[in-house]
């Protein structure tokens, strides 16, 4: 999550956030030799980001699904769209 949301030019860095310290610390985190070091560096990086930003984006998709009235047998489950099961039973009855 750090890479896409908080690195300069990250794919989900919608705020345009840029910090040379965060960029460098992320590279150190990515090069961590073991999980204990990775965890410590990740928590330190999180502290830097939280101290620097008044708010932070969450890794949550906001979306909407719309269906034509001709589509039959659609069950709209709870939860985010990326967690929905594959739809096998979708067909039109007017064709």
pLDDT per residue over 51-93, tens digit each?
A: 988 766 566 656 666 666 776 776 665 555 554 555 455 555 6
Query: Packing angle between helix 20-30 and helix 35-52, nearest 10 degrees?
Result: 170
Q: Are 93 and 72 in contact (CB under 8 A)?
A: yes
3-state secondary structure of 71: strand
pLDDT at 39 over 80: yes
Q: How confident is the model at residue 95 (pLDDT cuts 50, 70, 90)?
A: low
Residues 6 or more apart in contact with residue 26 via CB below 8 angstroms? 2, 3, 6, 7, 45
pLDDT for res 43: 94
What's the whole-model pTM score? 0.58
């Amino acid at each position: 999550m750090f890479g896409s949301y908080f690195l300069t030019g990250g794919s989900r860095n919608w705020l345009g956030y840029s910090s040379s310290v965060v960029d460098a610390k992320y590279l150190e985190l990515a090069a961590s030799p073991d999980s204990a070091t990775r965890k410590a560096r990740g928590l330190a990086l999180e502290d830097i980001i939280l101290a620097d930003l008044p708010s932070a984006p969450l890794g949550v998709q906001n979306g909407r699904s719309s269906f034509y009235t001709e589509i039959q047998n659609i069950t709209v489950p709870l939860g985010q769209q990326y967690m929905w099961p594959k739809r096998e039973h979708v067909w039109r009855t007017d064709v």
